[in-house]
Amino acid sequence: MPGPVAVPPSQTKNTQNLEAKPVGAREPAAAGYQIEPVFAPARLGRKRTALSKNPGATAKAGATGAASMADGLLPVPERGETNWFASFLYPLRSIECLSVIAVVSVVCWVFVILVPEYCLAVMGDADSMGAPTIGKFIALISILPVAFLLPFCLFYWLQYLGRVMVASAMGDTTPPRTPDRNFDGFFNGLSPWLVWLSLGASVGLLPVLIYRAFQTTEGSWSGALSLLLFLLGFPYILMALLMSFLHDHALAAKPFNVIGALFRSGSSFLLLCAFALGAVGLGQATFELALLLRPGHFWIYLPACLVSWIAVTWCSIVVMRVLGNYYYPRREMLGWHHERPRWGVAWKL
C-alpha cells in the first residue's frame, strides 16, 4: 500500500487560515470611513493613482465604485494634470468615457439633426403634392419618439458630467464609471442640477434677462451689452455649480456664499472661467461651421453635425474635469466639506 502523502507546508498554512475564518467573514473597513467593504475584481495593468495610495481613499473609492476600468487609449497619470489644456486628453483614459461621448453624440445627432431634417423633407414633399396635412401628420408621428427618448439621453449626459466633476474633486485621475441604465441611473442625482438652475444659473443670468425684458430698442450696442452682462455673471454661474455638487449643504449656493467663495478664489478662478468659455465656444463654433455647409453641401453637412456633437460632448466633459481638478488642491482653503462630498457618497460613482 502507498504511504501517507506529504502535505506541503504552504498548503497546511492555507488550510489553517481557512479553518480559522468562517465562510463569508468580512475584513474590517478602513479606519475613519465606517463603510462596508466591497469585493471588487482585480484590475491588472493599472497604474496607481494618487487616490489609491491613501488607504482611506482606496476604501472610499472601492465602496462607491468611483474608479472605472483603466482600459483607455492613454495611461492613467499618477497626479492630476496642472495644465488645463492637457485635460482635453482626459476622456482618452477610459473606454467608458469614450463610450459615453459616442452614445450621447450619436443619439443627439439622430434626434436633433436627422429626425428634424427628415420631417422638413416630408412636409416639403407633401406641400408640393398638395397634401400639407398628411406631411404634418407624418412629421408628428416621427417626432414622438424623440420627445420621449431625448430627455433620458440628456439626463444620462448630466449624470455622467456630475460624476466627472465629483471624481475629479476627490483627486481621482481616472474617468468615473458610467451610470446604471435604470431608473436610478437616469434620475437619482439630478437634484444638484436643479439646485444649480434655481440658485446659480437663474441668478447669474438675471441681469441679462432683466435687460432683455426691458429693452425697447434694438441697436448695435445692445448685443455687446448683453454679452458683457453675461460675462459678468459667468463666474457666479460656475462657482454656484461647484458649490451645488461639492458642498455639504444642499442649498449652499446662495448669493452671499457664492460671492464669498469668488473673493477667496481670486483671479485664478477668473482664468478658469476664461478657459471654460473657450471650451464652450469651441463646441459652438463647430456647429456654426457645420451650418454653413447646409445650403450648398447638404450631404457633407449631416456628418459634420455628428462631428459637432462629438466636440460638444467632449468639451463638456473637459470643462467638468477642469472644474473638479481646480477644487481638489483648494479643498482645505474653501472648506466646503469635511471628509468627502455629500454627492460623492450619495452617488455610487
pLDDT at 15 over 60: no
Place of cell 477644487: 327
Place of cell 468562517: 22
pLDDT at 14 over 90: no
Which three-class secondary structure state does DSSP give residue 287? helix
Per-residue pLDDT of 154-176, as tens digits, reads: 999 999 999 999 999 988 888 99
Which three-class secondary structure state does DSSP give residue 176? strand
Per-residue pLDDT of 141-152, as tens digits, reads: 989 988 899 999
Contact 203, 255 (CB under 8 A): yes
Of the CA atoms within 13 Å of residue 338, those in its CB half-sphere come to 3
Per-residue pLDDT of 63-92, as tens digits, reads: 334 444 457 788 888 888 888 889 999 999
Within its chain, how far is the Cα of 93 from the centroid?
15
Query: In whole angstroms, what is the distance from residue 133 CA to residue 140 CA?
Result: 11
Contact 229, 211 (CB under 8 A): yes
Per-residue pLDDT of 267-286, as tens digits, reads: 999 999 999 999 999 988 99
Geometric angle at alpha carbon 227, from 226 and 233, rounded to 5°: 90
Q: Rounded to the nearest 5°, which phi and psi values hold at 89?
A: -90, 0
Q: Rounded to the nearest 5°, which phi and psi values hold at 41?
A: -70, 150
The most confident of the ranges 5-9, 35-39, 272-276 is: 272-276
Helices (H), 79-219: 95-108, 115-128, 132-169, 183-187, 191-196, 202-204, 206-214
Q: Where are the domains of the chain?
A: 151-346
Distances (CA, A) of 202 to 188, 233, 265: 23, 10, 22
